């Protein structure tokens, strides 16, 4: 099956090759925070809990969509889900297109038996929405126990992908329809090249509940797919996109719902900067995949614990007892 083969290749390339943006950074490195060397709180007072689409998180953090649809993906997803359950944070599944095309792959996405309480997002690509009815998408979400549907926008990736479908005609209308008709909340995400104000303004006219910016500066999915073929075109567009910090800021100006800061997030301090710029929580993908490859469930848990500790210490150093306090801070 072509979809399964592509997913295997994506995993191999992400783990073995250098797939980061080469000359474009997230922009978060330029955000300077006002260190408070005389906070009036204790580190123990810091409360990192957050809320997203009706679910409580112990920290403003989720593991962004990584994979699904292959036997190998099954262990990856379960290891990540177990760690998220222990830590009380959210998780996104990889594109469910594979299980819709081949229902027997459903168990490669299923993690509810090991993570009954976490926020779990299903996932569909914008270009595939026209291929499936609202009822079929609803059923796919129900089968994995998803709390919401994330619709990924990946025009840049599709244009370079050797077997891509760079045809977004009618995608906006389908997003608008699903955001009204699905029983579960719908949100929109990029895959690593950013969402700017033009798209955010357009999406604000729908009933979507959140935007996951997935900005430029982390993993280049143009880069990953160019390594599968079409390398000359990929080299030209490898660094194409809107840096994460810019994407967060622009989306917040146009969109009143929740925002996830993602794309090159590599520390708890990056998440803090994203929240101060206008996000509600942060998302991380590639470092989690690498942690799982190196240490399984324990590796993922230890890595995410480190990120949460960094968030807590960073909040203390800004004299922010809660996430709401953090949002009121000036950069």
Model confidence over 98-128: pLDDT tens digits? 999 999 999 999 999 999 999 999 999 999 9
Which pair of structure tokens corresponds to residue 2? 């072509």
Under the banding of pLDDT at 50, 70 and 90, the label for residue 158 is very high
Which pair of structure tokens corresponds to residue 220? 């280049």
Domain boundaries, the chain: 2-327
Query: What confidence score (pLDDT) does residue 5 get?
Result: 86
Mean predicted confidence (pLDDT) in 127-132 = 94
Model confidence over 3-38: pLDDT tens digits? 788 889 999 999 999 999 999 999 999 999 999 999
Q: Is the pLDDT of residue 79 over 80?
A: yes
Which pair of structure tokens corresponds to residue 325? 């306090």
Rounded-to-integer distance, Cα 282 and Cα 263, Å? 9
274 DSSP assignment: H
Which pair of structure tokens corresponds to residue 193? 């090249």
Do the Cβ atoms of 148 and 121 come closer than 8 Å?
yes
Under the banding of pLDDT at 50, 70 and 90, the label for residue 1 is low
Non-local (6+) Cβ contacts of 30 within 8 A are 245
Taking CA atoms, 211 is separated from 95, 215, 255, 296, in Å, by: 17, 11, 8, 29
For domain 2-327, is the CATH number 3.20.20.70? yes
Rounded-to-integer distance, Cα 8 and Cα 1, Å? 11
Taking CA atoms, 306 is separated from 146, 269, 281, 299, in Å, by: 27, 11, 16, 11
Query: What confidence score (pLDDT) does residue 229 get?
Result: 86
Backbone angles phi, psi at 242, to 5 degrees: -110, 120
Q: What is the DSSP string of 224-272?
A: HHHTTS-HHHHHHHTT-S-BHHHHHHHHHHH--SEEEEESS--SHHHHH
Rounded-to-integer distance, Cα 23 and Cα 239, Å? 7
Q: Is the pLDDT of residue 2 over 90?
A: no
Query: What confidence score (pLDDT) does residue 331 get?
Result: 58
Mean predicted confidence (pLDDT) in 204-222 = 98
Residues above pLDDT 70, as percent of the chain: 99
Which pair of structure tokens corresponds to residue 66? 């990584």
Query: What confidence score (pLDDT) does residue 137 get?
Result: 97
Query: What confidence score (pLDDT) does residue 75 get?
Result: 97
Backbone angles phi, psi at 30, to 5 degrees: -95, -5
Model confidence over 263-308: pLDDT tens digits? 999 999 999 999 999 999 999 999 999 999 999 999 999 999 999 9
Task: List the alpha helices (DSSP H) in the chain.
Answer: 2-16, 71-87, 97-101, 134-144, 155-160, 171-181, 197-203, 221-226, 231-237, 244-254, 268-277, 286-317, 323-327
Model confidence over 189-204: pLDDT tens digits? 999 999 999 999 999 9
Under the banding of pLDDT at 50, 70 and 90, the label for residue 321 is very high
Q: Is the pLDDT of residue 68 over 60?
A: yes
Query: What confidence score (pLDDT) does residue 329 get?
Result: 84
């Amino acid at each position: 099956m072509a979809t399964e083969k592509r997913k295997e290749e994506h995993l191999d390339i992400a783990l073995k090759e250098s797939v980061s943006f080469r000359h474009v950074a997230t922009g978060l490195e330029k955000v300077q925070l006002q260190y408070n060397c005389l906070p009036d709180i204790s580190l123990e007072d810091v409360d990192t809990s957050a809320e997203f689409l009706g679910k409580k998180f112990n920290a403003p953090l989720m593991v962004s969509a990584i994979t699904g649809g292959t036997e190998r993906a099954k262990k990856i997803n379960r290891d990540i889900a177990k760690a998220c359950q222990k830590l009380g944070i959210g998780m996104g599944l990889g594109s469910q297109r594979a299980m819709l095309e081949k229902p027997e792959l459903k168990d490669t996405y299923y993690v509810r038996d090991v993570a009954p309480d976490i926020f779990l997002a299903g996932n569909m690509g914008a270009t595939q929405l026209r291929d499936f009815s609202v009822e079929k998408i609803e059923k796919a979400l129900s089968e994995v126990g998803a709390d919401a549907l994330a619709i990924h926008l990946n025009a840049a990736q599709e244009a370079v992908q050797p077997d891509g479908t760079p045809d977004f005609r009618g995608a906006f209308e389908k997003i608008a329809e699903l955001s009204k008709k699905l029983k579960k909340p719908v949100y929109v995400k990029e895959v690593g090249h950013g969402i700017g104000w033009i798209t955010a303004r357009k999406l604000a006219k729908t009933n979507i509940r959140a935007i996951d910016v997935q900005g430029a500066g982390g993993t280049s999915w143009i880069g990953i797919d160019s390594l599968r073929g079409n390398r000359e075109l990929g080299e030209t567009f490898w660094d194409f996109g809107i840096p994460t910090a810019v994407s967060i800021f622009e989306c917040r100006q146009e969109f009143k719902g929740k925002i996830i800061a993602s794309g090159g997030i590599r520390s708890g301090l990056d998440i803090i900067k994203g929240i101060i710029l206008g996000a509600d929580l942060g998302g991380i993908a590639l470092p989690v995949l690498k942690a799982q490859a190196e240490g399984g469930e324990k590796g993922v848990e230890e890595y995410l614990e480190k990120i949460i500790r960094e968030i807590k210490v960073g909040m203390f150093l800004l004299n922010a007892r809660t996430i709401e306090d953090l949002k009121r801070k000036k950069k």
